[in-house]
Structure formats: C-alpha cells, structure tokens
Amino acid sequence: MLSRWILRLLLPLSITVLTAGPVASQSMAYSGAAAPPRVALASTYHLRLKSAWPQATVGEACRNGGDEVVEGVLQRGVDGVYRGSLDRRTLLLFCGAHGASGEACELVLEGDGKVGMTGYVLPDETSPSGSALRLSWRPSPAHGATVRGACSADFKRSIEEMYLSVTHGVELAVPGMGEGKRTERLENYAWTAEVSAE
C-alpha cells in the first residue's frame, strides 16, 4: 500500500485532473456572455512545465517533495491537434511511513526520458488568444527511472511503476501567433507553465 503522502503528490498530477468537471466546464462555458474574439494560433509552440509540488521536511534531514520539468515543442497536425515528444526530468523525494506495518523509510526517484504529449484546442474566455490547450502526456516505453533508498523493494518497485505509467494532464491558455511568451502558475494544477509561439 502506498503512503498517503505519495498519493497526495502523484494523484493531482494524474489523468484524474482531466476529468475534473468544474475545471473543464469553466473553460468551455461563457455563462451567456459573448465569446472573446479568437486569435489565430501558432502552428508550433515551445512549452516548459515546471512542477509546483508541495514540499515538506520531516525532522532535520528528511524531505518530501522534489521537482520535475517537462519541456519541448508541440506542432499542430492537419487534424488541428498539437503533438510532440518532450523531455522530462524528475527528482522525487519521499520520507515517511508506508504499508500496513507503518515503518518509516526514505526514497529518492530520479527519472529522465521522453513523454508523448497531445494537446486539444478549447475555447477559453480568460486567454488572450481566446483559446486554451488541454494537454495530456504519458512516458514513452524507453523512459527510465532509478529508485534508491531504505524503503522495501516492493514499495520502490510500486513507485517506479506508477511514475513510468501514469498519464498526466493540464489545461493552459496559449498566446496567439506573434503574441510572445506567456508564463502562468496554473491555478488548478501543481505546475507553472511557460508557452511561446515559434
């Protein structure tokens, strides 16, 4: 059984964020107001997502948290969907009790590899361009991870398998063609996004 802390850290990043009804409905509903003017979107975007995960210290030398960066280029296909193979670098730190025994241990996961990302265009009245991207990404089969620490082999294996298999997602406003870079701390997700038209 995974610890509550690990689940609190990873679940907000998982595919469940894509099914959050209020978030999706807010980005697509205008409450009777006129839709903002649409600006032409770029055919290519450079995207950098930096994690804004909760960080906590247990005792003097034990830390829960870490950070992750997902970065690369998304290109629009003929179907209007944006796709790309982006770089992902992760440092995940865990310190605490897990499993039925409740024994405490420390764990460090380091990950490096590619993720396949897909982005669907949505109307968004808060975006300068009038559009947002609903993004989802999943680790490629060749994505690697190293887990070390004093936790049990089963626990380390479970964390590694989760890291290498979970689909993540966010929604973010995008600039229109020629509008430069947009940086935003995503309100409903544990990420800061930088996106610019290329």
Residues 8-18, mean pLDDT to the nearest whole number: 41
Q: Residue 22 is part of which domain span?
A: 4-197
Q: Say how far residue 40 (Cα) sits from the centre of its chain.
A: 26
Give the amino acid at 114.
Answer: K
DSSP string spanning 110-143? EEEEEEEEEEEEEE-TTSTTSEEEEEEEEE-TT-
Residues 172-179, mean pLDDT to the nearest whole number: 92
Mapped onto helix, strand or coil, the DSSP state of residue 99 is coil
Structure confidence at residue 100 as a pLDDT band (50, 70, 90): low
Domain total for the chain? 1
Query: Are β-strands 191-197 and 44-51 bridged in parallel, bridged antiparallel, or unpaired?
Result: antiparallel
Question: Does the pLDDT of residue 128 top 90, yes or no?
Answer: no
The 10s digit of each residue's pLDDT in 15-64 is 333 333 333 333 334 344 445 557 899 999 999 999 999 888 776 677 88
Dist CA 185 CA 170 (whole Å): 11
| Contact call for residues 97 and 162 (beta carbons, < 8 A) | no
Q: Against a cut of 0.85, is the pTM above it?
A: no
Dist CA 47 CA 183 (whole Å): 10
Per the prediction, the chain carries an average pLDDT of 83
pLDDT at site 21: 38
Question: Does the pLDDT of residue 7 top 80, yes or no?
Answer: no
Q: Say how far residue 3 (Cα) sits from the centre of its chain.
A: 21
The 10s digit of each residue's pLDDT in 59-95 is 667 788 999 999 999 999 999 999 999 999 999 999 8
